[in-house]
């Protein structure tokens, strides 16, 4: 009897343990019958990424993630919340790899590294896709303020300065600029006058100009003038893709840097045609885009302007602003000395500063 009682007690305990195990198992299973697991992800902000000297992996979907973060759960695609602003299938706005010539490719290779600078570039196109693509042809109306400044230039400065656009100069300052698409035989005379008057200017050059007149570009640099980027081939920038914009700018940037040891920081849009998106492109490249608050049709060499008439026209427009002259104009070369003298007599500081 004692043995049977002991066996009965053991059997009872066995049944109790079995029931307890089932209860525990039930508590630790989901409705689908699988064991649940708690996963955590680490969100990495762009400032955090930029402050780290490490590198970051670009996943197959182009998303830049922190290689120190917990990757047990996939990170959400930042484009999911902005699908209404990005055309379906448009990979040009997705972060990719920046090649040696500054072109951003659509290639996404999870085995390649993305530097923090490239991550910043990618972030700019995630957050700024609402910028307008509308082409704006820069021009000026006749309305002026009490300081003789074109109202259009003043308003544009207020509207686009945050994107790196400059349309007007500070009080008492005249920023003198020349566009150099090709050499017409007058730039040397212009440089002579500037040297005589001790005035510095900004010269915006293209690749063709640098290639055909390297001695003049070298002289500009050696004599303390500012050389600005006027693109590789002088296209209308709003007509280009983002990749093409970067190529046009960075190819010339690297060419001038390699050939002349000079790094450009100022940009002028060919034909004055721009958009909010292309302004932002240049800003992301570290450029300030200079427009103008005065210009006239001096680029058309078939329309010879009487020097006295041209001088009077420019003098009448005098204001604190950015003046655009074309070095292909014989008239500009002829009147430059008297024009600088007039501006200085009126109390203006004339040079390359804003």
- The residues that are catalytic are 179, 326
- Tell me if 272 sits within 8 A of 237, measured CB to CB: no
């Amino acid at each position: 009897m004692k043995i049977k009682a002991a066996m009965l007690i053991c059997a009872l305990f066995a049944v109790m343990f079995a029931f307890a195990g089932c209860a525990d198992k039930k508590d630790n299973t989901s409705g689908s019958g699988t064991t649940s697991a708690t996963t955590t992800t680490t969100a990495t902000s762009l400032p955090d990424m930029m402050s780290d000297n490490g590198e970051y992996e670009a996943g197959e979907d182009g998303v830049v993630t922190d290689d120190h973060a917990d990757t047990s759960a996939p990170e959400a695609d930042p484009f999911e919340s902005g699908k209404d602003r990005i055309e379906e299938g448009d990979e040009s706005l997705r972060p990719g790899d920046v090649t040696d010539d500054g072109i951003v490719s659509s290639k996404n290779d999870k085995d390649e590294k993305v530097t923090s600078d490239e991550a910043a570039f990618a972030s700019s196109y995630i957050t700024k896709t609402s910028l307008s693509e509308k082409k704006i042809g820069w021009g000026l109306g006749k309305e002026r303020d009490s300081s003789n400044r074109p109202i259009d230039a003043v308003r544009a400065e207020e509207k686009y300065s945050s994107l790196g656009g400059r349309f007007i100069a500070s009080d008492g300052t005249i920023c003198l600029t020349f566009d150099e698409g090709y050499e017409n035989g007058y730039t040397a005379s212009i440089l002579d006058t500037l040297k005589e008057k001790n005035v510095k200017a900004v010269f915006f050059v293209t690749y063709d100009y640098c290639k055909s007149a390297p001695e003049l570009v070298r002289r500009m640099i050696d004599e303390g003038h500012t050389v600005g980027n006027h693109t590789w081939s002088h296209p209308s920038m709003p007509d280009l893709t983002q990749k093409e914009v970067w190529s046009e700018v960075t190819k010339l940037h690297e060419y001038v840097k390699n050939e002349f040891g000079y790094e450009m920081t100022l940009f002028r849009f060919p034909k004055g045609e721009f958009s909010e998106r292309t302004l932002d492109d240049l800003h992301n490249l570290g450029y300030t885009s200079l427009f103008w608050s005065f210009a006239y049709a001096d680029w058309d060499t078939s329309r010879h302007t009487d020097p006295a008439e041209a001088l009077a026209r420019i003098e009448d427009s005098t204001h604190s602003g950015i003046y655009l002259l074309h070095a292909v104009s014989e008239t500009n070369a002829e009147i430059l000395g008297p024009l600088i003298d007039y501006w200085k007599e009126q109390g203006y500081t004339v040079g390359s500063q804003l």
